[in-house]
Amino acid sequence: MNSPPSTLGQYQIIREIARSNDIVYEAYDPLMNRRVAIKELAMPQGASSQQQEERISRFKREAQAAGTLNHPNIMTVFSFAEDNGRTFMAMEYLDGCTLRSEIDTHGSLPLDRAVDIITQVLEGLSHAHSKGVIHRDIKPDNIQILSNGTVKITDFGIARLTFQPNLTMDGQVFGTPSYMSPEQVVGRDIDARSDLFSVGVVLYEMLAGQKPFGGDSVVTITYAIMNAEPPHPSQVSYSMWQILSRALEKSPQMRYASAEDMIKAIRDAVKSANSGVMDAAPPAAMGYGAAAYMAQGAVQPAPPPVYAYNPYQPQAYQPQAQQQQYLTTPYGVIPQQYQAGPSMPPPSAIPIYYPPPPRQPLLKPETVAFWKRVAMTFLIIGTLLVILIVCISQISRAITDDRSSGSDRAKSAEIANLPSNMPIGEKLQKYKEVLDKVTDVGTQADIRRQMASLYERQGKEALVRADIKTAEYAFSQGTDVDPRNPSLWSDRAMVLTQQVDAIQDAAYKEQLLAEAGGAWEQAARLEHDTEKSSKYGQEAARQYIQYAQNVFQQGDRSQFGDARSRLYNAKEIAGGDSELMGQITDMLQKLG
């Protein structure tokens, strides 16, 4: 397992918290002086370029889904960025434990505890649904209970954003089987009511201590979700069972229309129970004195059978149970098996089953033992050969690396002895030629730093001559060679800023403002000196504000998203300047 990085962007990594499809770290944000959680995209080895692009798109979609939401019951995402090829997002650090841990520890939860947790989950989902975000993976593992009792919904990794094109093709299924709705199981288009089905499963598990749709495989679980009715746990009251039954309806049209409707139903049920209203199922149809009436043998026509609608069965309607004969009395309808007299047919004879004799093995035990010894021999020989090949490869690589290191040192010494009066352009050409031939990583880094220093010197000499274009080119080349040099980024940003006021073309001016803001932002994030970093950050914020103003004045709504993104970055690096923060907030409101 690789050790965690020391930093990711502006964040200082403290420790690794978890690792599954992605890696989660505990980190410190020195700019905002707070503890955060960093989720880094872990790319599987051997993934094709298309698979990598899809993983990055889904990771970015997760950040967008959570980033558009601002609610006390939803985990907050602060930023999404990339650092040296590592894609990550910064999130709110959550303490406490998951609901899964709570259920595993206590089994079923008390009614008031379960209602409090599920109500907070529904309030968070209500906000998410109003913003066009469908979670698609509501389960106890993705519900965090903080130490102060607040409930947070986490992990929007497979969320559906209704305001953006769907990344999931028809027929693809994403989610956790035990908590998926029927329409999710078969890969159909889903809406907010699919999340409410998952909420019903979670509430059932909290109250009953077990899942409503059991099974020992994905096939049996999904079959139960689409066909079976969950049993009524004895500890669940009638009014709460009515809520669970409606939330777990197979057809979305039969469920609650929204999270607010389900919250209201839960609160009404709790209020009725607390007010002293009897919370029990309606009495059975048969009343006192029915047995005497049945003895009269007054058989009435059977009422029509009851049908349960399931949109995921091949037939639209199927009978719930085998039709029976009924007797109608003044006290209710009585099934035939409860009538007096021998009305039931005799049971049919059950055939006796005799198992077939055991089959003889295909191979004798002696033959099996022989082939096992042969396989073990080949395995040992193959292992020894692999070890031998690896050792030879390592020795050969060490010899090659030693030769390459000696050659690289010679080439590095070649450019170190260049005459001091050689023009900068010629020196840079020599450095490029040597850099293309050097293979040692450390030597390459030294050469790049020297080239960056030469480019910075070239750019400053051009500024003295008022040659802005040459200076911009030199600083740009310097940042390409040494992208972690804050001094070069600030020089490049300064040159771009100087050109903005002289530009009349609106589109070109927007481009320069964006580039200047980006350069100032890079300088701010790379600079270790706090005072300089704050200064660079404020300059970046000014450029981004002006860029957003130009976009707003032009009325090009296709650029509003980019402008908002840059303004959010400006809020992070503005250094707490109240005037700038006010301007940023004002522009964000204008951009919607």
517 shares a domain with 385: no
pLDDT of residue 400 exceeding 60: yes
Averaged pLDDT, 117-128: 96
CATH label of the domain that carries residue 182: 1.10.510.10
Is 30 or 500 the better-scoring residue by pLDDT?
Answer: 30
Q: Is 577 a catalytic residue?
A: no
The reply to whether 88 and 118 lie within a common domain is no
Query: What pLDDT, on a 0 to 100 scale, did the predictor assign at position 320?
Result: 42
Q: Work out the mean pLDDT of the chain and round it to a whole number.
A: 82
Residue 405 pLDDT class (50, 70, 90 cuts)? low
Based on the fold, state whether residues 491 and 473 are members of the same structural domain.
Answer: no
Q: How confident is the model at residue 318 (pLDDT cuts 50, 70, 90)?
A: very low
Q: Is residue 287 part of a domain?
A: no
Residue 492 in any domain: the answer is yes
Rounded to an integer, what distance in angstroms lies between the CA atom of residue 143 and that of residue 300? 54
Residue range 43-52, pLDDT digits in tens: 888 888 888 8
284: which 2 tokens? 């059975």
Reported as a pLDDT band with limits 50, 70 and 90, residue 418 is: confident
Identify which of 239-243, 282-286, 367-371, 499-503 has the greatest average pLDDT.
239-243
Is pLDDT larger for residue 289 or for residue 408? 408
* Inter-residue contact 146 to 93 (CB < 8 Å): no
Give per-residue pLDDT as tens, 374-395: 999 999 999 999 999 999 988 8
Distance between first and last Cα of the chain? 44
- Would residue 252 count as lying in a domain? yes
Q: Which of 224, 241, 274 is the last residue of a domain?
A: 274
Q: What is the pLDDT of residue 325?
A: 43
For the segment 61-76, the average pLDDT, to the nearest whole number, is 88
**Lowest mean per-residue pLDDT among 140-154, 254-268, 571-585:** 571-585
Using only C-alpha atoms, the chain has a radius of gyration, in whole angstroms, of 35
CB 421 within 8 A of CB 451: no
pLDDT of residue 67: 83
**DSSP character at residue 342:** S
| Least confident segment among 15-24, 238-247, 270-279 | 270-279
What is this structure's pTM? 0.49
DSSP 262: H
Cα→Cα distances 269→74, 232, 259, Å: 26, 17, 15
Whole-number pLDDT of residue 176:
84
Joined together, the tokens standing for residue 587 give 């522009």
Residues 237 and 104 in one domain: yes
324, part of any domain:
no
Mean pLDDT, rounded, for 584-589: 91
* Domain of residue 471, residue span: 364-477
How far is it, in rounded angstroms, from Cα 124 to Cα 130? 10
Q: ∠97-101-102 over CA atoms, to 5°?
A: 90
Same domain, 108 and 192: yes
Q: Is the residue at 522 inside a domain?
A: yes
Check residue 1 and give its pLDDT. Answer: 52
Per-residue confidence band for 396, with pLDDT thresholds at 50, 70 and 90: confident
Whether residue 251 sits in one domain with residue 125: yes
Q: Same domain for 422 and 488? A: no
Considering the domain boundaries, does residue 123 fall inside one? Answer: yes
Tell me which of 477, 495, 517 is where a domain ends: 477
Residue 438 has pLDDT above 50, yes or no: yes
CATH number, residue 559: 1.25.40
> What are the E-state strand segments in 158-301?
160-161
Which residues make beta-bridge pairs with 83? 86
Same domain, 108 and 227: yes
Q: Where are the alpha helices (DSSP H) in 417-483?
A: 424-437, 441-464, 468-481
**Nearest partner of 525 among 84, 42, 92, 66, judged by Cα:** 84
Structural domain ending residue among the three candidates 477, 503, 534: 477
Predicted confidence at residue 432, as pLDDT, reads 84
Mean pLDDT of 233-253: 94
Q: Count up the domains in the chain and report the number.
A: 4
pLDDT surpassing 60 at residue 291: no
Predicted pLDDT of residue 134 = 93
pLDDT in tens, 350-360: 444 445 555 66
431-445 mean pLDDT: 81
Question: What's the CATH code of the domain at 20?
Answer: 3.30.200.20
Does residue 585 sit within a domain? yes
Regarding predicted confidence, which is higher, 226 or 440? 226
Closest CA to 521 of 564, 495, 492, 482: 492
**How many angstroms separate the CA atoms of 559 and 553, rounded?**
11
Residues 255 and 130 in one domain: yes
Helix/strand/coil (H/E/C) assignment for every residue in 265-321: HHHHHHHHHHCCCCCCCCCCCCCCCHHHHHCCCCCCCCCCCCEEECCCCCCCEEECC
114 and 223 assigned to the same domain: yes
Q: How confident is the model at residue 500 (pLDDT cuts 50, 70, 90)?
A: confident
Q: What is the pLDDT of residue 155?
A: 86
pLDDT of residue 450 exceeding 70: yes
Residue with the larger pLDDT of the pair 268 and 21: 268
Same domain? For 138 and 63 the reply is no
- Give the strand pairing for 86-92 and 151-153: unpaired
Supply the pLDDT for residue 205. Answer: 96
Residue 497 lies in a domain: yes
pLDDT in tens, 541-586: 999 999 999 889 888 888 899 999 999 998 888 877 888 899 999 9
Which pLDDT score, from 0 to 100, does residue 364 have?
79
488/539 same-domain check: yes
Options 137, 155, 440, 491, the catalytic residue? 137
